[in-house]
Amino acid sequence: MTVPMRARPFTRSFHPVGLAFALLFFVWSMTPSLLPRAWYLQGVATGISMVTGYGIGCLVAWILRRCGVQPDWSPRTRRIGWWVLAGVAAVVIPTFLILGSWWQQIVRDLVTMERVERSLYLPVLLIALAVALLLLLIGRGLRAGTNKLTGFVDRYTPTPVARVTALVVVVVLLVVLVNGALYRGILGTAEEAFEAADAGTAEGVQQPTAPERSGSPESGETWDTLGQEGRTFVAGGPDAAQIEAVTGRPALEPIRAYAGRESAETMEGIAERVVAELKRTGAFDRKALAVVTTTGRGWVNGRVAASFEYLNGGDSAIAAMQYSYLPSPLAFIADRESPMEAGQALFEAVYAVWIDLPEDARPKLVVFGESLGSYGGQSAFASGADLVARTDGALLVGTPNFAQPWGRITEQRDPGSLERLPIVDEGRNIRFASNPDDANLPEPWEFPRIVFWQHGSDPITWWSFDLLLHQPDWLREPLGPDVDPGMRWIPFVTFWQVTLDMVFSAEVPAGFGHSYGPEAADLWADILAPEGWTQADTDAVRAALGG
């Protein structure tokens, strides 16, 4: 028997209505979303969209049959229908491959990335078909298993009960497999693998000698316990001489206090070690003290941290800690508890010391964090009002959509303001910005000042399971200037587009996606408002940060 003859029963198993919907979802999947997608990611997004469309089409056909709509097409009519579907596909597929590659070039222009060869979009169809067929086979396998289980249970119970029982058993087994043993096994293996990698030190990073840095010879935290990202953080940033050169003012050596995941058994224990470092270095005597919740393996945005130090003339301290060995993308999916525990533990430990100081002798207490760091850092506060009441300012960057109180603050925005740039209480204390100019509202900005920094094209901020079936306000409203005006919400499709936009969301130039850079200097200048500080000073800092 030849291969084509063997394949014939498989090809005949496809439902024409399902294929028509799959073709429609193929077209939709090629439309632009927030960021440029690599051709192979486009293939994955398209494949998932196609199999989703196929499933919806089959569901529609099944519902129609249950309602008694069963046209008795003649064999000739069926053949004509198949040829029409094939003809439409032959025109639509290459047309939208070409259009998709053109739309991607427009998105690349918007985020100031180089254009790529449009011919790279040719393999998209092959990858999409492979992904769609794989998912379809998995789905059919699950259906076959459910049917066999139904047949077995049907011997002892009525058929409707047997079907429901079989379905429940299969769903429970899947949940246990994915969320149970498989999940724990993969997570445990990943933790071990990344813990081993965490022992390395990034190229060019050397142990600091200044006593103001954790990991130095005078520090209570040894260099090898800080983790790879912790070592990079304490060894980086400007020193007093560099700050003086940029600002033209006398400067102090900035303090960076840090503790690694292996320094204590609990989050509270790690936080206490950071506080011990703050006390050792005299951080509570400085002008400004920042509490930072890191991402995943302990990463801190170096530009946000350095701009804070430049703005304060080095008369500053930054406190941070590592809470996981998992890199941010994996932690984003698998571990949302640790960032919250770490954010609460570190802020409360620092706050307990700070609040006991004489009011006129306290440093300004601010918080900042990016991505999971913003999410974890906010967990120390019950509301926006609590954030205003217990800090002297905050810069929260690229906040994930599931973070609180960010979500409640956004929902309670002033009527008429945009979801991507909410105005809250006329901007009295809390403001949202995609770029520094967005923070300049007509109403007076009172202290303390809180800024949520989020780009309109950042999929980390806008990704949500709600995208599957619900059109968000930010896609109803005028889109940001960094988003293709042709982007539209499409059920199921937009969810997978934005999901895959996240993969390389930090690999775009600063100012777009999940890449936040030198503009931190402008926002810190707004938040801190240093005496005698000018726009020329901000420009000098931004230039020093590479912007």
Asked whether 450 and 388 are in contact (CB, 8 A), the reply is yes
Q: Rounded CA gap, 343 and 349, in Å?
A: 10
The number of distinct structural domains making up the chain is: 2
Looking only at the bridges linking them, the beta strands covering 288-293 and 364-370 are: parallel
- 190-217 mean pLDDT: 87
217 in the same domain as 140: no
Token duo for residue 412: 């309670």
260 in the same domain as 112: no
Q: Rounded CA gap, 405 and 476, in Å?
A: 23
Identity of the highest mean pLDDT range in 109-123, 147-161, 394-408? 394-408
> Which of 176 and 373 is assigned the larger pLDDT?
373
- 128, 153, 178 - which closes a domain: 153
Identity of the highest mean pLDDT range in 104-118, 168-182, 489-503? 489-503
Q: Rounded CA gap, 36 and 483, in Å?
A: 10
Q: Mention every residue, 6+ apart, whose C-beta is less than 8 A from residue 3.
A: none
For residue 327, give the nearest of 190, 512, 504 by alpha carbon.
190
217 in the same domain as 104: no
Q: Rounded CA gap, 42 and 133, in Å?
A: 16
HSE, side-chain direction, 13 A CA sphere, residue 486 = 15
144 in the same domain as 214: no
Other Cβ atoms less than 10 A from the Cβ of 494: the count is 24
pLDDT digits (tens, 9 = 90+) for 399-417: 999 999 999 999 999 999 9
149 in the same domain as 202: no
Helix-helix angle 337-354:267-281, to 10 degrees: 40
DSSP H stretches of helix in 154-286: 159-176, 182-197, 227-235, 240-247, 267-281
Q: At residue 182, does pLDDT exceed 50?
A: no
In a domain, 189, yes or no: no
Asked whether 353 and 384 are in contact (CB, 8 A), the reply is no
Q: How confident is the model at residue 302 (pLDDT cuts 50, 70, 90)?
A: very high
Percent of the chain whose pLDDT exceeds 90: 76
pLDDT of residue 171: 56
Token duo for residue 415: 């009527």
In a domain, 172, yes or no: no
Q: At residue 542, does pLDDT exceed 80?
A: yes
In a domain, 387, yes or no: yes
Q: Rounded CA gap, 173 and 165, in Å?
A: 12
455 in the same domain as 306: yes
Token duo for residue 119: 């011919």
Residue with tokens 């066999």: 148
Q: Rounded CA gap, 76 and 114, in Å?
A: 51
pLDDT digits (tens, 9 = 90+) for 411-437: 999 999 999 999 999 999 999 999 999
pLDDT digits (tens, 9 = 90+) for 25-54: 999 999 999 999 888 999 999 999 999 999
398 in the same domain as 532: yes
Q: Rounded CA gap, 49 and 445, in Å?
A: 45
pLDDT of residue 1: 44
Let me know if 539 is exposed, middle or buried by CB neighbors in 10 A (0-12, 13-18, 19+): middle
For residue 194, give the nearest of 264, 294, 261 by alpha carbon.
261
Q: At residue 518, does pLDDT exceed 60?
A: yes
In a domain, 518, yes or no: yes
pLDDT of residue 331: 75
In a domain, 240, yes or no: yes
Q: At residue 188, does pLDDT exceed 70?
A: no
386 in the same domain as 240: yes
146 in the same domain as 213: no
| Structural domain containing residue 138 | 3-69+76-153
Average pLDDT, the chain: 90
In a domain, 181, yes or no: no
In a domain, 169, yes or no: no
208 in the same domain as 320: yes
149 in the same domain as 205: no
Q: How many residues does the chain have?
A: 547
Cis ω before 415 (30° cut-off from 0): no
In a domain, 178, yes or no: no
423 in the same domain as 370: yes
